[in-house]
Structure 1
Amino acid sequence: MSQPISRRSMLRMLGIGAGAAALAACAPSTQAPTPAGTEGLKDDGVKEFPFTSWSFNEAVTKQPMQDQITKYQSANAGVKINTPSYPYNDYLNQLLLQVQGGQLTGAVQVDVAWLATLAATGKLIDLKSVATGADYAPAALALGQSNGTQYGLPWTFAGIGLISNNELLTKAGVTSPPKTIEEFEAALNAVKGLGNGIVPWAGMTKVDQLKDIIPWMWEFGSPIVQDNKIVIGDDGSVAALTWYKKLYDQKLIAPDVNRVDARALMSQGKTAFYEDAIGGKATVTKSSPDKDLGGKMAPVARPVKASGDKPRHLAWGQVIAVMNGSGAAAAANYAKTITTDQAYAVEYFTKTGLPPTTNAGLADSAVKNDKFATDFTAQIGANSSASPFWIYPQFSQMEKVLAEEVQSILIGKKQVKEALTSARDRMNDLIK
């Protein structure tokens, strides 16, 4: 349903041009405390440090991470890496609690959405000197920046977008990916006609992941944030939620679905579309009874309101930050090695599906010959932008407010305009 892109096109999108400009917006512009500086990167002789993550808590990534650590420890005498880990949904809270207690040291896996919040603690080391001269793609490097400071080294990046089950679409008579919202609706109705308990689109309807509505608001013309003010409740956002509620009422999307539920539906062959980051494919195929499912899954650019409009997606990525404290120099060396050494990065990609962040890694045959990865980059990653809320340390509270009000629309508790106006006022109160 989609064509792979060339190595040159892939590197161009990830390094320069529109894709890079969009992802560079992930560098928040709000004022943050002075970083811990580079003093902490002077070798203190401590070779034991923790690498705190959520990926060590997940089946698809746990063993590949352990393999990296084992390999690194074998190649660096005396190094010992501990692996504290927390579930993703509780991860940021756990980090902040540990920072507050002065207990967080070493290397830390960070979702790009959380970087401004962690930078605001003043405990992250400026890694500019570590990143200088490395082969990171410029757009990837921008993921680790906040307020002009290089707080993180990029580990993997792309966006969040639609993934289809082409076997179901073919059965429903849909022979090409929908490019407009009108075509998308037609495809969903065709899939609904298959019956057999199939959910046409496993769109987010549980409050914990209703932030996925953001790019749909963009598609309908809402800037969401303008002149440092939340403007939800404008014509674009109202049109987006009116449309989403219509699909909900027509049972084209299902109630009480979050990312975990959506992945389960895709793995069981029970949905034609769901939204995920690029690494979601590995999770879905690992748990699927259909061993050929991976070949049936394809990334789809977000359908646009009018032909010729630009598809919009939320940026997604992970960086490794280093906390000021004991073993920081050793932790920074580890972070740079696993993100820039091609042997580490490409092996991690082959085991997890998560793309590297260096030009050399992206040009490796294992990456450029992976059709799903190159298509995902072309269809989704190249058209990704930072959430407008990430620049605010209060972003998680703001996303929660939005999700609560959107859910109130879906369950019929509030009218669209009423709920979005409430969301706007509540979020503006958070940033006053």
Structure 2
Amino acid sequence: MTTMNRRDALRLLGLSTFGVAALAACAPDATGGAATGDAAAKTFGFTSWSLNEAAQKAAVQAIVDAYAATNKVKIATASFPYNEYLNQVVLKLRGNQLTGAVQVDVAWLGALAAMGKLRDLGAQASAGGYTDVALSSGKFDGRQLGLPWTTGSIGLIANTELLTKAGVDGMPTTIDEFEAALGKVAKLGGGVVPYAAATKAAQLKDIFPWMQTFGSPLLSGDQVTIGDEPSVAAVEWYKKLYDAKLIAPDVDRFDARALFSQGKAAFYDDAIIARGVVASQSPDKALVQKMAPLSRPVLKAGDTPQALLWGHVIAVVEGEGADAAAEFARFATSDTATVADFFQKVQLPPTTTAGLADPKVAGDSFTTEWTEKITKTATANPFWRYAADAQIESAVAEQVQAVLVGNSSAKDALAKAAEAVEGLQK
């Protein structure tokens, strides 16, 4: 198994402060511009941040080399560190200096799509055998602008050993059951945090799936719904957990990972890479066997569990070699032997039905449970369509934190948050 350090985890979660700032600073240009070069050329480029990372470089280069040799094409690779990647891609697209296939974080697709330079890969998507949720990660305004390379989600993880010690019988499926489970865990004492939820402003966008759980869509068309009754109820519930010390102050994703890795948290939110992170951090080498992904508890039985989509796609820029680049993107993301081998090397789940069913993947119970319980119903953050997404998330997070520390009511804080979000919509 490939383990990942703090920087790797930050990279894969798409939380780079430089990167999200670039998304707003390099606001997309909708004018596009005519594609240049011969689309039928057998030479094309492949730009990827994974080629810049030790954990994935060899596995990705092997895919590139195998495809080039088999199909008698030339692939010129380029890479940038993740923290600089979005800025570099935007600048090169604007200057017509980038063609071919491009690795894209799902959170960035809308911003790059608005530049008008990406090819619709609908034909390749229809032949790829991708899951519906995976295909959704590469769609923008009804067009398939990216083929899903890995599709996961951010959801809840439980420490089953702590739950057993606390007398929690089975995984909670509703909000009421979840709150009751947290209460039982709290009685363990010993510094155990029942739910290592995000409470620092930097990570408080984790409140979004809870708002959706309570019934707020967050965004309806272009109408901001933050501040509606369900979102207010969600924040009031979060505040109740905070006041009851069922969640802790000043916790972000890294703090939560540390608490969980030390056996001091019964639940926390993370992406599927959590297993590798915990394996590398925990003094208890058996802890990974005690980790269990669970569907986010729902408000009432029968509701759809909420989770945030996570992953990356391969997009294709119109211009030189675009036809061959599109076929490469399809191969890299949907050839069963290729995606199963990639999973074995880097532990990132494939995006096709056949890939997920391959014994190399299906035999990994953690991945299959995660896919079925969390990723299956994951959806994109609706604010990803805006260039100011990072500022939108910050505006909401700051107001939610004001509620937690007692400086504002949930209703007043979310009204301010909605006003700030509306000012950032462009």
Alignment correspondent of 2:15: none
Distance 1:378 1:431 in 2: 34
Q: Superposed, which structure 2 residues align to 1:246-261 within 5 Å?
A: 246-261=240-255
Amino acid at match of 1:52: S
Find the partner of 2:40 among 27, 40, 43.
43
How far is the alpha carbon of 1:33 from its aligned partner? 4.8
2:264 matched to 1:267? no
Q: Superposed, which structure 2 residues align to 1:136-147 within 5 Å?
A: 136-147=130-141
2:390 matched to 1:399? no
Stretch deviating more after TM superposition (134-143 or 415-424): 134-143
Distance 1:416 1:357 in 2: 39
SS in 2 for 1:211: helix
Change (3 A) 1:78 1:305: closer
2:177 matched to 1:183? yes
Distance 2:226 2:355 in 1: 40
How far is the alpha carbon of 1:250 from its aligned partner? 2.9
> Is contact 2:104–2:313 with CA below 8 Å preserved after alignment?
yes
TM-score, normalised to structure 1, is: 0.82
Alignment correspondent of 1:385: 379
Find the partner of 1:299 among 281, 284, 293.
293
How far is the alpha carbon of 1:346 from its aligned partner? 0.4
Distance 2:233 2:418 in 1: 15
Distance 1:420 1:344 in 2: 46
How far is the alpha carbon of 1:36 from its aligned partner? 7.4
> Is contact 1:109–1:319 with CA below 8 Å preserved after alignment?
yes
Amino acid at match of 2:379: S
Stretch deviating more after TM superposition (75-84 or 137-146): 75-84
Distance 2:60 2:288 in 1: 22
- Write out per-residue CA displacement over residues 306-365 of structure 1, whole angstroms, 9 at most, x where no aligned residue: 333332222223211123455545543432222122122001222333221222212212
Change (3 A) 1:149 1:351: same
> Is contact 1:40–1:125 with CA below 8 Å preserved after alignment?
no
Stretch deviating more after TM superposition (421-430 or 137-146): 137-146
TM-score, normalised to structure 2, is: 0.83
Stretch deviating more after TM superposition (336-345 or 73-82): 73-82
Alignment correspondent of 1:82: 77
Aligned length: 399
How far is the alpha carbon of 1:69 from its aligned partner? 4.2
Distance 2:253 2:53 in 1: 14
Distance 1:160 1:123 in 2: 30
Identity of matched residues, %: 50
Distance 2:135 2:38 in 1: 19
Amino acid at match of 1:110: V
2:219 matched to 1:219? no
Find the partner of 2:365 among 366, 371, 375.
371
Alignment correspondent of 1:18: none
Alignment correspondent of 1:24: none
Distance 1:60 1:178 in 2: 35
What is the aligned-residue RMSD (CA, Å)?
3.0
Change (3 A) 1:374 1:233: same
2:345 matched to 1:339? no
Change (3 A) 1:310 1:330: closer
Distance 1:148 1:34 in 2: 19
Alignment correspondent of 1:321: 315
How far is the alpha carbon of 1:301 from its aligned partner? 1.0
Alignment correspondent of 1:357: 351
> Is contact 1:277–1:316 with CA below 8 Å preserved after alignment?
yes
SS in 2 for 1:95: helix
